[in-house]
Structure 1
Amino acid sequence: MNEKRDLFLSTAEVYLDYLERPAVAAKWTEPSALDEFTVAGLAGHTSSQITSAAAALAAEGDERPGKDLFDHYAQAAWATTGIDSEANTGIRDSGENLAAAGHKELCATTREALEQVRTALPSAPADSRGATSTWDYTLPLDDYLVTRTVELVVHGDDLAHSLPADPPAYPQAAYDLTFHVLTRLAAARHGNSALIGALARSERAPGTVAAF
């Protein structure tokens, strides 16, 4: 396998070990660090990064048109609309639904999905495509796994802040990949100069360079 596939698997394993902690179960029905998300819903949404990868690998003959990684982010409705938009309420509802059976069941479902990915991924062709069921396009499989890895890193941190507890200890390569994607998105949103100022010149840093 290549580096992106290996990194997704190792990042997903760290997340799943974190999800299985009793501290997550103890906070299950409480509000999370994200507006309008319970801890359960946030955990469900984060786990869906693994279950959606399993579903993508099981799909055959996807005829949806292709996009590249940063086109995906540029047009993603959840990234360009408020938390009450249809896209974002749908994400929250989906996360809550996936977690509705409880902490133990979500852990088992996610563990099963990860094993399916671990089995299927080594033999997936280099030109494979990947997507979630709600998208009207696909990405190259390895880029699709990049989006899943970034989601696991970002939402794993959200989950840690919801407990609160130390964040998952993801591989440094997962953080490096996430920084690369978020930096590109922040520069596209705010401009290269704003990002340089924020990172290197505190005296002229803008109020925010958030990627989303």
Structure 2
Amino acid sequence: MTRHPATDRDPALTRTAFENAGACFAELVADIAPDQWATPALGAWDVRSLVGHTNRALTTLTRYLDEPEAQEVCTSPGQYYALSARATTPQEVEARGVAAGQDLGDDPAAAVRTALERARAALARFPVPEDPVIRTVVGGMRLNAYLPTRTFELAVHGLDLCSACGLEIRPPDHVLADATRTAMEIAHESGRVPDVLLALTGRRPLPAGFSVLP
């Protein structure tokens, strides 16, 4: 019987990766200079919008932990990205990021710290062995399957922000490893693992514009 990759993750390590990814993100945001918030960052997003989008990795977790679901619909991080690509348009994601950036207010660093504290407190209500089904944008999902998607967002967009702002803060190695595992699970869901494996081993380059994301 085929098992979903998320079922093989250590719940304690998954939580540690998320919490450390959040702490690194908060540290990074605190180092953004006042004149960098309108700097182009990723696609149509400036730095403020990208920080707002990334901060949703914290705020959505806090909200979803208060909204249990009876039925598990999505069972892995890779499936989450496949389903969310069908449920949400790029334009909707872009608009939410802009709105979330505006919601950061006059002190974005403080807003991010508050979001991180609330996410930690919400997560602490569930001891590590517990794995409740919570609401997500794609339907009911186990906490331990959803959490890696939040670590992935924090890690990848943290690197995006470092590039945009010329910062050298990088997530810890175990956070990057967790995010890379999620990237491979996304590639598995879309059938792109052979392309990634051949590129990583120097057999052939990836096509221009290649992404594991759907």
What TM-score do you get using the length of structure 2 for normalisation?
Answer: 0.81
Query: Which moved further from structure 2: 117-126 or 168-177?
Result: 117-126
Offset at residue 143 of structure 1 (A):
1.6
Q: Are 1:15 and 2:32 counterparts?
A: no
Q: Partner residue of 1:51?
A: 59
Of the candidates 122, 130, 133, which is equivalent to residue 129 of structure 1?
A: 133
Offset at residue 195 of structure 1 (A):
2.6
Kept after mapping to 2: 8 A contact 1:12/1:152: yes
Counterpart residue type for residue 73 of structure 1? Y
Unaligned runs of 5+ in 2: 1-10
Offset at residue 154 of structure 1 (A):
0.6
Kept after mapping to 2: 8 A contact 1:68/1:140: yes
Q: How does 1:22-101 map to 2 (within 5 A)?
A: 22-23=32-33, 25-32=34-41, 34-57=42-65, 59-63=66-70, 65-69=72-76, 70-77=78-85, 87-101=89-103
C-alpha spacing 1:6/1:194, structure 2 compared with 1 (3 Å): closer
- Please state whether the residue corresponding to 1:2 is helix, strand or coil: helix
Mapped partners of 1:101, 1:191: distance in 2: 36
Q: Partner residue of 1:178?
A: 179
Counterpart residue type for residue 172 of structure 1? D
C-alpha spacing 1:197/1:101, structure 2 compared with 1 (3 Å): closer
Counterpart residue type for residue 110 of structure 2? A
**What are the Cα deviations for residues 5-30 of structure 1, in whole angstroms up to 9, with x where unaligned?**
1221111011001111142x321122
Kept after mapping to 1: 8 A contact 2:135/2:141: yes
Mapped partners of 1:60, 1:183: distance in 2: 29
Kept after mapping to 2: 8 A contact 1:64/1:136: no
Query: Which moved further from structure 2: 91-100 or 102-111?
Result: 102-111
Offset at residue 201 of structure 1 (A):
3.0
Kept after mapping to 2: 8 A contact 1:43/1:99: yes
Counterpart residue type for residue 12 of structure 2? N
**What are the Cα deviations for residues 64-87 of structure 1, in whole angstroms up to 9, with x where unaligned?**
64211122122222xx79xxxx62
Mapped partners of 2:103, 2:205: distance in 1: 45
Mapped partners of 1:4, 1:12: distance in 2: 12
Offset at residue 187 of structure 1 (A):
4.7
**What are the Cα deviations for residues 161-210 of structure 1, in whole angstroms up to 9, with x where unaligned?**
111332x32121111111112123335545443233211134x3343553
Q: Partner residue of 1:154?
A: 156
Q: Partner residue of 1:138?
A: 140
Kept after mapping to 1: 8 A contact 2:190/2:212: yes
Q: How big is the alpha-carbon RMSD for the aligned residues of Structure 1 and Structure 2? A: 2.5
What TM-score do you get using the length of structure 1 for normalisation?
Answer: 0.81
Unaligned runs of 5+ in 1: none
Mapped partners of 1:139, 1:115: distance in 2: 23
Offset at residue 61 of structure 1 (A):
3.5
Q: Partner residue of 1:113?
A: 115
- In the alignment of these two chains, the number of paired residues is 199
Question: How much identity, in percent, do the aligned residues show?
Answer: 24
Offset at residue 63 of structure 1 (A):
4.2
